[in-house]
Copies of this chain bind each other. A is one copy, B any other.
Amino acid sequence: MSTTLLASLLIRKLERFEPWSVDERQSVLDAIDSTLRLPAHAHLVQEGEIPDGIHVVLEGFACGYKLLPDGRRQIVSYCVPGDVCDLRITLLPRMDCSIGTISQALVVRLSRERLQHLTVHSPRLARAFWQTALVDQAISREWLINVGQRTAFSRAAHLLCEMFLRLRAVGLVQENTCEFPLTQTEIADTLALSTVHVNRTLMELRRSGLITLRDKQLTIHHLPALEAAAGFTPDYLHLEAILDDDATPAT
């Protein structure tokens, strides 16, 4: 069951630039080590650890974050269904941030060893994993710009646009609405704002008629308008290559 999900989410995403052979698809599925069902706000990986599996989210949300000595927290990434949380530990000695769940989540662990083996023997798989990592990097950079250069209002709008498109790319948007389980505290730790100010900013977004956000459901009434308010351009997500139809396996 989690195999089917992994195939439809992760593999579909990894194939976005280049389709795989049936064997390649199967070899990734064979790397599944275990499946974890986690509650909200559970720890997955601790900063500094040397875990020996990599995690892929199939349901729910997770995030990467770093804690500062004074207790402040900066969330540095979100993992939505289909995202790999910690691909980097296949090659770096230690994790440089912690990973935790946001909502209830279904996560599979892939064996680090088997994955390493795969990428050595299939350049196409290696390339695909590389590419997702590079997209993640592009997202980090965009977040830096967001936090560094935009007002609270645009910043929040930008985050909503990004999450909406990422969720839409994995089929988790119906009409104009999607699950959005982040608390205002989590949004604050993402956008580098205080919770109070996030609250006021969301209020303003609601008042302006751009969004509805209630009961962990986000509705974007007019995406182009929200994008304009955010100064959002989706290029950095490299979603253009994610196809809606079934890709035909390569030879």
Residue positions of A touching B, CB distance < 8 A: 17, 48, 64, 66, 68-69, 72, 74, 76-77, 88, 91-94, 96-97, 119-120, 123, 126-127, 130-131, 133-138, 140-141, 143-145, 147-149, 191-192, 231, 235-236, 238, 241
A94 touches B147 (CB 8 A): no
Name A231's contact: one of B68, B92, B127, B241 (CB within 8 Å). B68
Can you name the residue of chain B whose Cβ is closest to the Cβ of A66?
A: B145
Chain B positions within 8 Å of A68 at CB level: 145, 149, 231
Name A92's contact: one of B77, B96, B131 (CB within 8 Å). B131
**Secondary structure at chain A's binding surface: helix, strand, loop or mixed?**
helix
B149 touches A88 (CB 8 A): no
Say how many copies of this protein the assembly contains.
Answer: 2
Complex alpha-carbon distance, A123 and B135, angstroms: 22
Chain B positions within 8 Å of A133 at CB level: 130, 133-134, 137
A134 touches B91 (CB 8 A): yes
B140 touches A93 (CB 8 A): no
B141 touches A96 (CB 8 A): yes
Chain B positions within 8 Å of A130 at CB level: 91, 130, 133
What 7 additional pairs, Cβ within 8 angstroms, besides A76-B145, A91-B131, A130-B133? Answer: A17-B93, A94-B235, A96-B236, A126-B126, A133-B134, A137-B137, A148-B191
